Amino acid sequence: MRIVIAEDSVLLLDGLVRLLTAEGHAVTGYRTADELVAALSRPGVTMPDLLVTDVRMPPSHTDEGLRAALHLRSLHPELPVLVLSQYVEQRYASELLARGARGLGYVLKDRIADVDTFLDAVDRVARGETVIDSEVVTQVIARSRRTDLDDLTRREREVLALMAEGRSNTAIADRLVVGMAAVEKHVTNILTKLGLPPDADANRRVLAVLRWLDENGARP
């Protein structure tokens, strides 16, 4: 697997390159977001199988790494991205989720001390799965305006449970033997009752699912 890493810490970058190379992957590292974007924006360049990036990178050490990842993912929506962060950046986590959660990971750097956990996240994100650190889940949910899930009707809870299984509206309609219009109405009601603002549909759906997982003890 071809992996590109963007990390300004020389020691961490070297450690990740050595670890992933030992696992049989072809790894390229960059120390700034500008270098990363320039390298992957060249005409005819082949996208890697996975991009691993820190959030905070030079020169301002704020959100350059994440901005680079969002830019590259906007150009290549299928590019799997695993974000590493020293802390839970709630706003950035929500923004990343709003762009679509498939092939996306957001993991705290403390977690990569567990090599097996990190390598599992690498493999899963590269396969198109979603890997969100449990602490990120907790804080993103806490940031959103809370409304009790008990406000949902029995049918709305069934729909949300199927959403949590990763089912599309079409699959939910087939499973419940109802029309698409009915499912869309239930989804709209769920998002409204959970107090999720209508500014980013993908983000609202993901946050609704995270709320369900949190309530039912099924956090990542």
pLDDT digits (tens, 9 = 90+) for 17-49: 999 999 999 999 999 999 999 999 888 899 999
The 10 Å Cβ neighbour count of residue 60 is 8
Q: What percent of the chain has pLDDT over 90?
A: 40
Q: What is the pTM of this model?
A: 0.65
d(CA 102, CA 98): 11
Cβ atoms 125, 86 nearer than 8 A: no
CATH code for residues 145-215: 1.10.10.10
Q: How far apart are CA 204 and CA 148, in angstroms?
A: 16
Each residue's pLDDT tens digit, 62-117: 888 988 988 898 888 889 999 998 876 666 666 666 666 678 888 888 877 889 98
Q: Is the pLDDT of residue 3 over 90?
A: yes
**For the chain, what are the domain ranges?**
2-142, 145-215
- Binned at pLDDT 50, 70 and 90, residue 201 comes out as very low
* Choice among 74-83, 149-158, 174-183 with the minimum mean pLDDT: 149-158
What single letter denotes the amino acid at residue 152?
A: L
Cis peptide before 220 (omega within 30 of 0): no
pLDDT band at 200 (very low <50, low <70, confident <90, very high): very low
Task: Decide if pLDDT at 141 tops 60.
Answer: no
Average pLDDT across the chain, whole number: 83
Predicted pLDDT at 129:
87
The domain defined by 2-142 folds into Rossmann fold (3.40.50)
Judged against a pLDDT cut of 60, whether residue 215 lies above it is answered with yes
Is the pLDDT at 205 greater than 80? The verdict is: no
3-state secondary structure the chain: CEEEEECCCHHHHHHHHHHHHHCCCEEEEECCHHHHHHHHCCCCCCCCCEEEEECCCCCCCCCHHHHHHHHHHHHCCCCCEEEEECCCCHHHHHHHHHCCCCCEEEEEHHHHHCHHHHHHHHHHHHCCCEEECHHHHHHHHHHCCCCCHHHCCHHHHHHHHHHHCCCCHHHHHHHHCCCHHHHHHHHHHHHHHCCCCCCCHHHHHHHHHHHHHHHCCCCC
